[in-house]
Structure 1
Amino acid sequence: MKTLTDYKNLSKSDKGAVIALGNFDGLHRGHQAVIRSAQAIANTLGAPMGIGLFRPHPFRFFKPDAPAFRLMSPRVRAQVMDELGVELLYEIPFDDDLREMDDTEFVERVLHQGLGIKHVVVGEDYGFGKNRCGNIESLTQLCAERGIGVTAMSPVGLHELYGKYGSTEIRKALKQGDVFHAQHMLSRPWQVDGVVQKGQQLGRTLNFPTANLPLGDLVVPKLGIYCVETRLQDETLWRPSVASLGTRPTVGGEGVLLETFILNFNQDIYGQTIDVRFRSFIREEAKFDGLDALTAQMKRDEAGARAIFGLN
């Protein structure tokens, strides 16, 4: 997959694509349906298939101090897009200039002159332009005037009881600790990644050495203990693990940290980029009366994780 970080001054070879347009945070089943539609149209037209999204996320642009909300890092997003067969990723800079464009200016300057697209696929509720002045009707009309096809996709969901698959719904599930439902909507376990950092190294003292990751701008799920799987740098193997996501109240911790204890493993991985995917919720975070009580509970958590993974 080729990534282009602007819509201006593109080469001819980087234009003429069929694109799926949106934010694509999570690349969940709904997003995947939009991407599959774009791929089918691209195959019919003999054109490359790409994704157009905004950098930074518009929500972060308008509310820079809002709590973390992203479902995936750019690194994980690129991995998943590659797996989905995306050929071109257009990261459209969301800046003051773009914010002031109305729907006509956006279609003309970004989609037509800039990206030179042949066709665009969006969700049927897509809004764009200054103050979201544009909708699917204006997009269809403005694109038709420029020879650009438009396909609007209906929401995708399990059924009426659970509603549509959406990034908002996935965040809600994670905040409830419902990683099973989040996994269903995503079509894969929710995954975080980052560089292993040195912490207080208390876990090593208690014979539970952990790999510590800050979540950065990723959404913070329900605090507690989880069964997870960990993939080390340059490996494909997912290793059974148990993780604590929280503020470490027993030892006076500050800030939310993901601490992952990899089962049947004892290597120094400080400084490595690792991936952690969430499999099941074990219990809520709790404050214990001292390190002995904490250690005893950690042993119970480990035993529970081993049982879930079928390990001795």
Structure 2
Amino acid sequence: MPSIVPPDSPFFARNEAFVHWGGEGDMPVALRGAVVAIGNFDGLHRGHRSIVAATVALAGEQAAPAALLTFEPHPRRFFAPEKPLFRITPPDVKAMVAARLGLAGMIELHFDAALAATTAHDFIEKLLVERLGVRGVVVGHDFHFGKGRQGTPAFLEEHGAALGLAVRILPPVTEDGQAVSSSAIRASLAAGDIGRANQLLGYRWLVRATVRHGDKRGRDLGYPTANLALAPDCGLRHGIYAVRAAVAGTVHMGVASFGRRPTFDNGAPLLEVHLFDFRGDLYGRAMDVEFVAFLRPEERFVTVEALIGQMDKDSAEARHLLGESNLGAPSLLCPQQS
């Protein structure tokens, strides 16, 4: 599979001046008078990035900064808190992706009852123009906003123009005749189809967590692991994966298991990452884990010896896949690799 993002893509250069603002206090100077892309942007996938690219272009025309305007918690979680929502990119990972897209920053507004009750007209006039002082807006063709989702792209275009806003509406991006969407990516990850998910994303999907103490069983098996607890609503298929993991700016190849460890305790889902040729203490350290390929489903083994034998095979397969010169979708991790 060829690289989805060309070598000169901003994906390979993080904007070190990127500002992640949570909406409290005064607007940071770097984001004042911005042109904003508005949406939830879960995944910041290829469809979202067409909106971001148009935002950066419009900002250039306006001699203004370009920013992402998004919401936390995700509105679906606000309106239906009882329904799990598999987040492809939680806020910190979303900011990590956004910082590579030529944006000055990300504005993250708290989604609460007051915001949900804001009329479409007030969303434009009171929030966008008066509070945030934006100069332009870019949205997707299906963007709705305001109380009861009454605001439409056409409404935004008409009323925004009356208030002096430059407005751009973008069509969907399609793949094999289907719109690239967060839902399609969630479905691919749930099926273990990492290749498809990464193709739709345009980069390799990754998670970020802190290494925690475990039962040290992996060390006894000859495969010490870094244990990471992912969000309870993580919908990734349980199984074994070839991964790359970044710790303190250095990237290591490895193999990972996500699941309940049916051979031992069938406990709560846990991501266990074994880094090849690594020695050191990782407890309490932040780790980014990038998923390259699905190797096999999680399974229960009758003996520990059978499990170790399969782990040897998994590691060999992961080393082979990770050693190939063309790994497909580009990486968001540091290019340095051990």
TM-score range, shorter chain: over 0.9
User: Cα gap change, 1:139/1:217 in structure 2, threshold over 3 Å: closer, same or farther?
Assistant: farther
Query: Does 295-304 or 272-281 show the bigger shift?
Result: 295-304
User: Cα gap change, 1:74/1:11 in structure 2, threshold over 3 Å: closer, same or farther?
Assistant: closer
Query: Does 16-25 or 85-94 show the bigger shift?
Result: 85-94
The residue type equivalent to 1:249 in the other structure is P
Instruction: From 216, 224, 240, give the equivalent of 2:253.
Output: 240
Distance (Å, rounded) in 1 between the aligned partners of 2:205 and 2:30 = 35
Equivalent residue, structure 2, for 1:278 = 291
Q: CA contact under 8 A between 2:19 and 2:30: conserved in structure 1? A: no
Q: Secondary structure at the match of 1:250?
A: coil
Distance (Å, rounded) in 2 between the aligned partners of 1:121 and 1:199 = 46
Instruction: From 134, 146, 152, give the equivalent of 1:117.
Output: 134
Instruction: From 191, 196, 202, give the equivalent of 2:206.
Output: 191
Q: CA contact under 8 A between 1:9 and 1:114: conserved in structure 2? A: no
1:129 lines up with 2:142 in the alignment = no
Q: How many angstroms does 1:129 deviate by? A: 1.0
Distance (Å, rounded) in 1 between the aligned partners of 2:297 and 2:25 = 49
Equivalent residue, structure 1, for 2:111 = 94
CA deviation map 1:61-105 (0-9, x unaligned) = 122232241112322222221111211321111111111112112
Instruction: From 12, 18, 34, give the equivalent of 1:17.
Output: 34
Q: CA contact under 8 A between 2:31 and 2:67: conserved in structure 1? A: no
Distance (Å, rounded) in 2 between the aligned partners of 1:8 and 1:73 = 23
The aligned runs of 1:46-195 (5 Å cut-off) are 46-160=63-177, 163-195=178-210
The residue type equivalent to 1:255 in the other structure is A
Equivalent residue, structure 1, for 2:321 = 308
Q: CA contact under 8 A between 1:70 and 1:217: conserved in structure 2? A: no
Distance (Å, rounded) in 1 between the aligned partners of 2:202 and 2:29 = 35
CA deviation map 1:39-78 (0-9, x unaligned) = 1111111111111101111111122232241112322222
CA deviation map 1:93-135 (0-9, x unaligned) = 1111111112112112111111111110000111111121111
Q: CA contact under 8 A between 1:55 and 1:91: conserved in structure 2? A: yes
User: Cα gap change, 1:143/1:12 in structure 2, threshold over 3 Å: closer, same or farther?
Assistant: farther
Equivalent residue, structure 2, for 1:290 = 303
Which consecutive segments of 4 or more residues in structure 1 shift more than 3 A?
7-14
User: Cα gap change, 1:309/1:145 in structure 2, threshold over 3 Å: closer, same or farther?
Assistant: closer
Distance (Å, rounded) in 2 between the aligned partners of 1:231 and 1:64 = 32
User: Cα gap change, 1:13/1:285 in structure 2, threshold over 3 Å: closer, same or farther?
Assistant: closer
The residue type equivalent to 2:45 in the other structure is H
The residue type equivalent to 1:260 in the other structure is V
Gap runs ≥5 in structure 1: none
CA deviation map 1:175-208 (0-9, x unaligned) = 1111111111111110011110111111011111
Q: How many angstroms does 1:227 deviate by? A: 0.6
State the TM-score, normalizing by the size of structure 1.
Answer: 0.93
Gap runs ≥5 in structure 2: 1-17, 325-338
Query: Does 3-12 or 285-294 show the bigger shift?
Result: 3-12
Distance (Å, rounded) in 2 between the aligned partners of 1:79 and 1:104 = 32
The aligned runs of 1:33-44 (5 Å cut-off) are 33-44=50-61
The residue type equivalent to 2:219 in the other structure is R
User: Cα gap change, 1:71/1:216 in structure 2, threshold over 3 Å: closer, same or farther?
Assistant: same
Distance (Å, rounded) in 1 between the aligned partners of 2:226 and 2:72 = 30
Q: What is the CA RMSD across the aligned residues, in angstroms?
A: 1.8
Q: CA contact under 8 A between 2:30 and 2:65: conserved in structure 1? A: no
State the TM-score, normalizing by the size of structure 2.
Answer: 0.86
Equivalent residue, structure 2, for 1:251 = 264
User: Cα gap change, 1:76/1:218 in structure 2, threshold over 3 Å: closer, same or farther?
Assistant: farther
Q: How many angstroms does 1:9 deviate by? A: 5.2
Q: How many angstroms does 1:15 deviate by? A: 2.8
The residue type equivalent to 2:256 in the other structure is A
Q: CA contact under 8 A between 2:21 and 2:28: conserved in structure 1? A: no
Q: How many angstroms does 1:7 deviate by? A: 7.3
Q: CA contact under 8 A between 1:68 and 1:216: conserved in structure 2? A: no
Query: Does 61-70 or 178-187 show the bigger shift?
Result: 61-70
Q: CA contact under 8 A between 1:175 and 1:221: conserved in structure 2? A: yes
Equivalent residue, structure 1, for 2:229 = 214
Q: Secondary structure at the match of 2:235?
A: coil
The residue type equivalent to 1:281 in the other structure is F
